Structure 1
Amino acid sequence: MIRLGLRLALGAGRDAVVRLVIIAAAVALGTGLLLGTLAALNATGTQNDRNAWLNTGRSGTGSAAATGSRAGGSAAADPLWWQIRADGFQGRLIGRIDTAATGPHSPVPPGMSRLPGPGQYVASPAMAALIRSVPAAELADRYPGHLVGTLGKAALPGPDSLIIVIGHHPDELAGRSDAVKVDAIATLSPGRCDGPSCEIGTDHNGMNLILSVVAAAMIFPVLVLVATATRLSATRREQRFAAMRLVGATPRQISLISAVESTVAATTGVAAGFGLYALLRPLLAHVTFTTSPFFLSDLSLTTTDVLAVALGVPVAAALSARIALRRVRISPLGVTRQATPRPPRAYRVVPLVAGLLELAYFIGRRPPTSGGQVRAFLPGTLLVLGGVVLAGPWLTMAGARLLASRAGRPAALVAGRRLADDPRAGFRAVSGLVLALCVTSGAVGVIDAMVHERGLPSAGTTVRNTVMSDHARYVPPGLRVGTVPTPPDGLLAELRAVHGVGGVTLVHSDPTAGSRPQRALDGGLADCAQLATMPVYGTCPTGAAVASVASSFDGYGLVGGPWPSTWPAVPMSRAALRSLPVTQIAVTTDGSRSAIERARTVLARAYPADDPPYTVGEDRARRSAELDGYRQLADVVIAVSFPIAGCSLAVSVAGGLSDRRRPFSLLRLTGVRLRTLRAVVLLESTVPLLAVAVVAIATGFLAAQLFLQAQLGYSLRPPGGEYYAMVAGGVIAALGVIGCTMPLLARITGPENARND
């Protein structure tokens, strides 16, 4: 029987070979995408593991910070002084690590053979290239010393990571309040910890979210594509196998032959899929599930991945073929007499309803741990996605019966009757696209609500391009107190001399702020002459010398209500103001790279012990980094789901036409016009698409609302115009795919196809 199955698969004529090639191609595409998804998930974890050393000095990360590790504390033999801060260049994050070895046995971070000494620094390849490509006054002058080496891949989350490690004398870092002594470099992956211990990288909450969303939203459509492909030409194969049953073949023999045919096609497709994965792998390196592209070597497959795909896809194909031939197994006359399949029952909507109820159950009962949250919401999400697919045939049947009852033309009547007779086949063609619409609606609903609730208000370009240098600490009752004296006039003159700088304002601590009821905008004092050079941040009353202002200008428009256009005057002289410590230096620019980076470099050199200067735009981008990550993840899911759905639709429509070549040929012989048959094919694909798409979109938004209420306490927001454009584009693309199959209809409905094979 195995030999016969091979002969039928490979030597049964042109149609069999074409069917084998189409199935193999579709399985290859699905397998390649599945392997790429698995490799990207593996790369995400590997990439995150390399963030571990950047969390050195934080408790619970394996870095063993010494007792009293703040400045002035004792440490073990040869500890390492460590200070990590966030610098920036044109919106790109730069990780700056200042180190100082206290002896020959101080720990060395990964990616380097030795620590840089005083006056030396080591940079990532991307950082070294950036330093060489821009004028020194814009970047290199911020860092004392010279480049002595590059960091290896073991220290880099991604190939574009900007990281610099600067060497110092121990005495230089010992006086810095945020420098710590550590006995070892952190080794615990952010993916295995949580909270402040893992500020850099994606903690296990985020990793669980990423892996769960990708697994549910990307692997599921790929599996639908593979299952669709393996059922190609199922009707014609059923007829052939039914004829074999009539001449004496047993059900077991039919099942074996069918399994051999499907396995041959699927095995060929899997082999080609591994080749496709090898071609896609360099492109996948540029896709990010987090914030950085992957190293090509990170995109690897485990032995389990390879075996699961290499063995699982052919087995799934054989099972799909076995299930497809269940009517032939029951009776050899079941197909030859064209028995109408049993209509789908209403119980098919039960899993969908159960998934929604499961999500609704956790409103007000959200588990406290991240693991519990994943276990709570992932089953409901999978039930919803699977429920949409399972309920699709029943919804298709309802739409088909409505179409047939309202039909005014022959095409509508034929399409409605055929869909009502076999709604499973009609829905199968559009199941991938319907699933993509459900995923897209849910993702957009969640992201839009989070952006509305957590998003930061936009500001004008002048505000966003303002360079800020912070020099403050917080003291009870939450006041910002300056930590540096008024900078010399030479520094202010150097800043104003930078081409493109509009104004410079110093924000001083207000010594009376703690003695009066605190307001959100209180706590700072500013020279009105300086403030006049940057009116976007408000002005002073006429004749005033000093005004009471916010203690920090980077919160412009974020807290405390509307930003005042005029600040209240304070009875204080400019000389008295200069004696007060400074909390912040604000420098407005024209937004040019030269102005922003030169001003930032001047401030960084003047205050090397404090946090590097930043722009307001960068600060707001960092505050919304989590939202940007979620939005990026949603974009990846949507970008992958729609092409997979389009491939599933193309395979299904082409296979359906091949299966119905004889009925359509007979209709043409009886006088039905080709135009009518084209309308039938279009309606048979459009009706299930529209009937189930409405339910899928509504389900996606409802699931998003339930998740938002249960997990975050948010409410769904109306989607923006991009969503409607995306849905319309997906539907139009689907109709285009269906339209591309119309020329095939003319070729397969000739008189020669009307005879029995």
Structure 2
Amino acid sequence: MNQWGRDLALGVRFAFAGGREGWTRALLTAVGVGLGVALLLLTTAIPNALAARDDRSNARTDITYGSATAPKADDTLLVADADTRFRGEDVRGRTLEPEGPRAPLPPGVSEFPAAGEMVVSPALKRLLESDGGRLLRERLPDRIVGTIGDSGLVGSADLTFYRGGEGLERYVDGSQVTRIDRFGDPNPYREKTDPVLILLILVVFVALLMPVAVFIAAAVRFGGERRDRRLAALRLVGSDGRMTRRIAAGEALAGALLGLVFGTVFFLIGRQIAGSVELFRFSVFPHDLNPSPALALLVAVAVPAAAVLVTLLALRGVVIEPLGVVRTAKPARRRLWWRLLLPLAGLAMLYPMIRQGNDDGDFNQYLVIGGVMLLLVGVTALLPWVVETVVARLGGGGIAWQLAVRRLQLSSGTAARLVNGVAVAVAGAIALQMLFAGVEDDYTKDTGYDVTKAQMQVTVGGGVEVDGAAERLRRTEGVRRVVAHSEGWLGDKRLDPAKSAAVTVGDCTALRELADLRSCRDGDVFAVRGAEYDTDTPQLAVPGKTLYLDPGYEGSAPGREVAWKVPAEIREVDSRKDLSGMERGGFLLTPKALPEAAAPAMVGRAYIGLDPSVSDAREQVRNTAAALGPLMYASDWSATEQSDRYASIRTGLFVGAVCVLVLIGASLLVSQLEQLRDRKKLLSALVAFGTRRRTLSLSVLWQTAIPITLGLLLASTVGLTLGAVLLRMTATPVRVDWGSLLSMTGAAAGVVLAVTLLSLPPLLRLMRPDGLRTE
């Protein structure tokens, strides 16, 4: 162990005391390793960031939909839901009215805003003050008197406001307006994640981290050929082969340790940048990105250890003699059999979970991680063999082609290492896209909304008259059609009715959207038959029977019940699906048939058909709704809706894929520059003998294009295989998402092309005859 320590320390000294050559190699290695370490540290920080977001979200919870309303006291607060949307972004809003001096303050707010005032998040303040936020400013005209602190926001790009209100007590119903005595949900609902979503999470992490590990392993081998030639001098002064290898490992260790420092710096810079960036509507605060100490320690130990092991393994096939380096004049052909063992072992680990799905228990996490890792590692094992086998059979062509092919034939391993990380990333991405596309239908459901007739819904509350609101909405820019009605309940008793039915009030046009009406005029009353889950209407629709609109229940405010007698001329009609996709039962009343005293108990609904040629039609509708009253709520309609858990995992995949794509580009550029630096004298010699620079540039392009094409073909094969196995594991029919396959391979090819183009300027600088000068 002492000898190992001395040799490694000597290698570290050579890395930093070897002049410009040693420093350059150490810096290139450090940059390559540092990029990977930064992404690893970011990954270890993600669980803490998600937990911090969840904690802050739970701490500001107020309207819990179903929890008992607190009794009025000097420590209670009235809270009204004022959420809205602006150009696809959710804006969380609350109207607050304290009922005493000890009313609880929301997290991040130092004092309550008065009526006509509001406190906003920094991101919302910037939006409201920008030219692009003009329409939103019309909707939120209150004077801004402060900003919300970080403790009251989920992320740095969170759009949130609290505004002052008054007169909210008469609207307390526990849903849109509620009374609370503290913020935070004491019993937050923890939804059990189903096995398929756990499988998605596991595969996402493995697929995103494997390319990082591959890049780190490739980075510690930068400048390997020059290093091996320098090591021959050590043999000349008396070191044996084992000592030489240990010294080489020490050089790699130096670059890895410096890479840890670089990686930490990159991570700290990236963490600050993350606080001002929003990806796929996901944002964090810099202080959220704190890596777990145990995982950070694991990275700090694993990266240098991997550098030493990779270097020792790489030097097994190299004979370093006192008079030079022998890599065997005719390298032994790579064997295929053991390279196939890795993906086959991965398939064997995944096979026991075929067709397990959601019905037969959880997936074994260790088998999933191990199987996916072996399949992706199999790409790195198979790619050198594929590149060597193919380039050995490539023949004549132009000068640039021949230069590229001959270079690849001499060092196919180096070319394979250059694209290994890209191939692994693409294979994992293809498998994930297949899995997401395959299970998407399980987490996407049809809303039933008829989006051909209506694209928005406005809930009319707070004592606003429905017909007047509908007329205002019809006059709004971008609105083509408005269908409005009011909803309430009828019971057979004033308090705690045994039988009840829905009641809908609207003009004949609106009622025809709910039932088949042969004739209709103002004053008519209809009883709907055939509606699903409606069993009480036939027993209540008895002419002369007295019913009660807005009946009272235990705990509700008494005295709001309005008696109503079923008219003798009531007619039965058949139900039909309305614009929201439901079959409405109960009673249908035209406006004249509703007692005037019952109007305040009704909740209005307005269904809006928009003009697609007006770009901001939705924002105009929301502005009109906000101008009508503080309890008006406008919502968008869509034909389908997706599970929040599934959507968040997919968002995490996209965010991670962007980070890995950036790493791929940066690492490939560093690798390419290192390769060019290693061939500086060769390029200069070719130029000195008259080779055209365009020819050399094309040869460098071919040297990148050939292995990347082979790598993408192999990655597509492995990715499709892994994707098919994962779909079989979830008991989902196997189908290839060709669009995702082409987009993933196209994105990878685009990154490689961009890196090649960025490396051309330094290539042209290297192609000078004075590059032959040496010391």
Shorter-chain TM-score above 0.5? yes
Distance 1:460 1:689, change over 3 A: farther
Q: TM-score, normalised by structure 2?
A: 0.71
Tell me the CA shift for residue 349 of structure 1: 2.7
Distance 1:204 1:86, change over 3 A: farther
Specify the SS of the correspondent of 1:51.
helix
CA contact (8 A) 2:114 2:165 kept: yes
Question: Which range is displaced more, 176-185 or 442-451?
Answer: 176-185
Amino acid at match of 2:191: G
Specify the SS of the correspondent of 1:249.
coil
Amino acid at match of 1:70: A
CA contact (8 A) 2:488 2:503 kept: yes
Kindly indicate whether residue 418 of structure 2 is the aligned counterpart of residue 429 of structure 1.
Answer: yes
Indicate the residue corresponding to 1:92 in structure 2. 89
Q: How does 1:325-364 map to 2 (within 5 A)?
A: 325-327=315-317, 335-336=325-326, 338=328, 340-341=331-332, 343-364=334-355
Specify the SS of the correspondent of 1:50.
helix
Tell me the CA shift for residue 161 of structure 1: 2.7
Kindly indicate whether residue 622 of structure 2 is the aligned counterpart of residue 597 of structure 1.
Answer: yes
Aligned-partner Cα distance in 1 for 2:577–2:463: 15
Indicate the residue corresponding to 1:730 in structure 2. 748
Distance 1:616 1:204, change over 3 A: same
Q: How does 1:119-158 map to 2 (within 5 A)?
A: 123-126=120-123, 138-140=138-140, 150-158=147-155
Tell me the CA shift for residue 134 of structure 1: 5.5
Specify the SS of the correspondent of 2:738.
coil
Amino acid at match of 2:620: A
Aligned-partner Cα distance in 1 for 2:713–2:362: 33
Tell me the CA shift for residue 231 of structure 1: 0.5
Residues 74-100 of structure 1 deviation map (CA, whole Å, 9 limit, x = unaligned)? 899967776767443443323345667
Q: How does 1:238-317 map to 2 (within 5 A)?
A: 238-288=228-278, 291-304=281-294, 307-310=297-300, 312-317=302-307
Q: How does 1:625-640 map to 2 (within 5 A)?
A: 629-640=648-659
Amino acid at match of 2:381: L
Residues 70-129 of structure 1 deviation map (CA, whole Å, 9 limit, x = unaligned)? 35x889996777676744344332334566777766655432356779998665455567
Distance 1:26 1:44, change over 3 A: same
More helix by share: 1
- Please, which of 608, 625, 637 is the counterpart of residue 587 of structure 1? 608
Indicate the residue corresponding to 1:27 in structure 2. 33
Aligned-partner Cα distance in 1 for 2:391–2:503: 69
Amino acid at match of 1:298: D
Aligned-partner Cα distance in 1 for 2:73–2:92: 26
Residues 696-745 of structure 1 deviation map (CA, whole Å, 9 limit, x = unaligned)? 1232233334334434736435333x763553353254245446657877
Q: TM-score, normalised by structure 1?
A: 0.72
Aligned-partner Cα distance in 2 for 1:705–1:239: 46
CA contact (8 A) 2:107 2:152 kept: yes
Distance 1:181 1:658, change over 3 A: same
Aligned-partner Cα distance in 2 for 1:378–1:508: 55
Tell me the CA shift for residue 646 of structure 1: 3.1
Amino acid at match of 1:702: T
Residues 303-339 of structure 1 deviation map (CA, whole Å, 9 limit, x = unaligned)? 4565455554444333333332234589879943635
Residues 24-69 of structure 1 deviation map (CA, whole Å, 9 limit, x = unaligned)? 333343344444454455433322321112445769xxxxx9xxx5
Indicate the residue corresponding to 2:558 in structure 1. none
CA contact (8 A) 1:439 1:638 kept: no
Aligned-partner Cα distance in 2 for 1:364–1:194: 27
Amino acid at match of 2:607: A
Indicate the residue corresponding to 2:497 in structure 1. none
CA contact (8 A) 2:84 2:634 kept: yes
CA contact (8 A) 1:467 1:596 kept: no
Indicate the residue corresponding to 2:310 in structure 1. 320
CA contact (8 A) 1:709 1:715 kept: yes
Question: Which range is displaced more, 221-230 or 451-460?
Answer: 451-460
* Greater C-alpha radius of gyration: 2
Distance 1:753 1:354, change over 3 A: same
Tell me the CA shift for residue 449 of structure 1: 4.3
Distance 1:76 1:710, change over 3 A: farther
Amino acid at match of 1:281: R
- Aligned residue-pair number: 692
Amino acid at match of 2:606: I
Across the aligned residues of Structure 1 and Structure 2, the Cα RMSD in angstroms comes to 5.4
Structure 2 residue ranges without an equivalent (≥5): 1-6, 491-501, 525-572
- Please, which of 21, 24, 27 is the counterpart of residue 18 of structure 1? 24
Distance 1:217 1:508, change over 3 A: same
Indicate the residue corresponding to 2:719 in structure 1. 700
Aligned-partner Cα distance in 1 for 2:199–2:429: 16
Tell me the CA shift for residue 595 of structure 1: 3.0
Question: Which range is displaced more, 492-501 or 428-437?
Answer: 492-501
CA contact (8 A) 1:210 1:633 kept: no
Indicate the residue corresponding to 2:636 in structure 1. 616
CA contact (8 A) 2:45 2:290 kept: yes
CA contact (8 A) 1:285 1:299 kept: no
CA contact (8 A) 1:429 1:648 kept: no
Aligned-partner Cα distance in 2 for 1:119–1:412: 73
Indicate the residue corresponding to 2:429 in structure 1. 440
Paired-residue identity, %: 26
Specify the SS of the correspondent of 1:365.
coil
Distance 1:371 1:111, change over 3 A: farther
Distance 1:83 1:373, change over 3 A: farther
CA contact (8 A) 2:503 2:588 kept: no
CA contact (8 A) 1:523 1:549 kept: no
Tell me the CA shift for residue 3 of structure 1: 7.3
Distance 1:212 1:620, change over 3 A: same
Amino acid at match of 1:614: A
Tell me the CA shift for residue 429 of structure 1: 1.3
Tell me the CA shift for residue 681 of structure 1: 5.3
Tell me the CA shift for residue 222 of structure 1: 2.9
